[in-house]
Amino acid sequence: MKLSAFVVAILGCLVLTATAVRVRQEQSKSEEGSQRDMSALISQLMTAATQVQRVELLEDKDFVFDFVNPPTLKTTAAGKGGKSVTAHRGIFPALIGAGIGMTIGFIEPCGMNTPHTHPRATELFFSVNGTFQTGFIQENGAREVKNTVEPGQATVFPMGSIHWQANLGCESVMFVAGLSNEDPGTSQIAQNFFKIDEEILSATLGGESDNEIKEIMGKIPANIALGLKTCQERCFKKE
């Protein structure tokens, strides 16, 4: 009897595993099909002669984008400090021809949107309900521009500038960022810098060894990261 029960248990596990694999395969096929449909739609919208034709290619619901439940993780950056969700033409085709995009940040206490650039867009950053420390450097030779942005205030980050935003508070907050391009692009400075060939990195960093470079790389967090130490010491101090 014990052997029979054991065999039944094993068979049950095999059936569950096979079912799970089949479900994953079906989900994968569905996602691939959706991606192909989206690519085809984007191609049609990009080549449409007029805005009237673009509207006809879309359904009413296609003009709504859900930042709380975005359609794909590909548009979301998430780390220990929160997450940001970007609407761009690749995932929100109704933007095609509009020349704009948008990012919403859901930032945890002391969270920071690490230094990055938008190669094709100027950003208008608006604080919904938090106090942010912000900064940008436009280009070689330019000074750093720093500001404290209070709820209801906005600041601008010029196209191509290296910029960042840090939540100075101990509560979860939001920001809204308008972008002047439907395909703004984002390049995280530290994360992408360390993708460069190690020999070039070593020379750029004054002769750092491969091991030292790998050690630094291992410490770079996912965006959105935990931010300023002074904020963490204030908000996360031990009772």
**What's the CATH code of the domain at 89?**
2.60.120.10
Secondary structure (3-state) at 54: helix
Same domain, 47 and 69: no
- Concatenate the DSSP letters of all residues of 110-137 into one string: TEEEEEEE-TT--EEEEESSS-EEEEEE
CA distances from 149 to 84, 175, 188, 218 (A): 18, 10, 22, 32
pLDDT beyond 80 at 149 = yes
Same domain, 67 and 25: no
| More confident position, 175 or 6 | 175
Same domain, 185 and 124: yes
Summarize pLDDT for 176-197 with one digit per residue, the tens. Answer: 999 999 999 999 999 999 999 9
Residue ending a domain, choose from 10, 36, 57: 57
Same domain, 109 and 149: yes
Same domain, 42 and 124: no
Output the pLDDT for position 237.
83
How far apart CA 214 and CA 104 sit, in angstroms, is 32
Domain that includes residue 97, residue range: 63-235
Element (H, E) at 38: helix 2-47
Summarize pLDDT for 111-137 with one digit per residue, the tens. Answer: 999 999 999 999 999 999 999 999 999
Task: Read off the pLDDT band of 71 (50, 70, 90).
Answer: confident
Same domain, 130 and 209: yes
Hey, what amino acid is at 186? T
Query: Which of 116, 119, 133 minimizes the C-alpha distance to 191?
Result: 116
Same domain, 28 and 124: no
Residue ending a domain, choose from 28, 57, 86: 57
How far apart CA 135 and CA 147 sit, in angstroms, is 6
Number of domains in the chain: 2
Average pLDDT value for residue range 161-179: 98
Q: What is the pTM assigned to this prediction?
A: 0.81
